[in-house]
Amino acid sequence: MQKTFVMIKPDAVQRNLIGEIIGRLEKKGLKLVAAKMMILSREMAEKHYAEHKGKSFFDDLVEFITSGPVMAMVWEGIEAVKVVRKLMGNTDPQEAAPGTFRGDYALFTGNNIVHGSDSPESASREISLFFLENELISYRKDLDTWVNG
């Protein structure tokens, strides 16, 4: 079973899309194992997006992601990293397929409503940046048998 880090960005919180995004992840069959609403410090934002340091959009990105509350979460399931990236859609909402979060609810890259880890390695790094090990809940759902084999 794989874990991935998902963050509902400040634009989606402002637009009342928390429930929509969580609902879609739940209905897919993924399991929520940790969640925390928070406002990111500048330091935290820069750590989270360290791979983009030096890029032209980095300062705007940090400004945006620290501009209001986010919902930080860990979701678990078979191939959770890949599955969440598929559900999210392309980074550029204008290229994101209809039916994806970004395809349905966003218009431009600067405000693309959700973050999801891009690899299992990124997921581990991001999960440990946002959560202590004992904040990840291990529990069983009947649904596990049906959707996760």
Nearer to Mg ion among residue 46 and residue 118 (C-beta): 118
Rounded Cα distance between 139 and 137, Å, is 6
Which residues, other chains included, contact 125 with Cβ-Cβ below 8 Å and sequence gap of 6+? Answer: none
Rounded Cα distance between 46 and 66, Å, is 10
Residue 110 interacts with ligand IDP (CB under 6 A)? yes
Q: What share of the chain is helix, strand, coil (3-state, %, to 5)?
A: 45, 20, 35
Number of H helices, E strands in the chain: 8, 4
115 is an active site residue:
yes
Residue 91 interacts with ligand IDP (CB under 6 A)? yes
User: Rounded to the nearest whole angstrom, what is the least distance from the CB of residue 67 to ligand IDP in the complex?
Assistant: 12
Nearer to ligand IDP among residue 36 and residue 52 (C-beta): 52
User: Rounded to the nearest whole angstrom, what is the least distance from the CB of residue 57 to Mg ion in the complex?
Assistant: 12
**99 contacts 54 by C-beta, under 8 angstroms:** no
Instruction: State the residue number with the nearest CB to Mg ion.
Output: 118
User: Rounded to the nearest whole angstrom, what is the least distance from the CB of residue 128 to ligand IDP in the complex?
Assistant: 18
Interface residues with Mg ion (CB under 5 A)?
Answer: 118
Binding site for ligand IDP (CB under 6 A): 52, 57, 61, 91, 109-110, 112, 115, 118
Give the residue numbers marked as catalytic.
Answer: 115
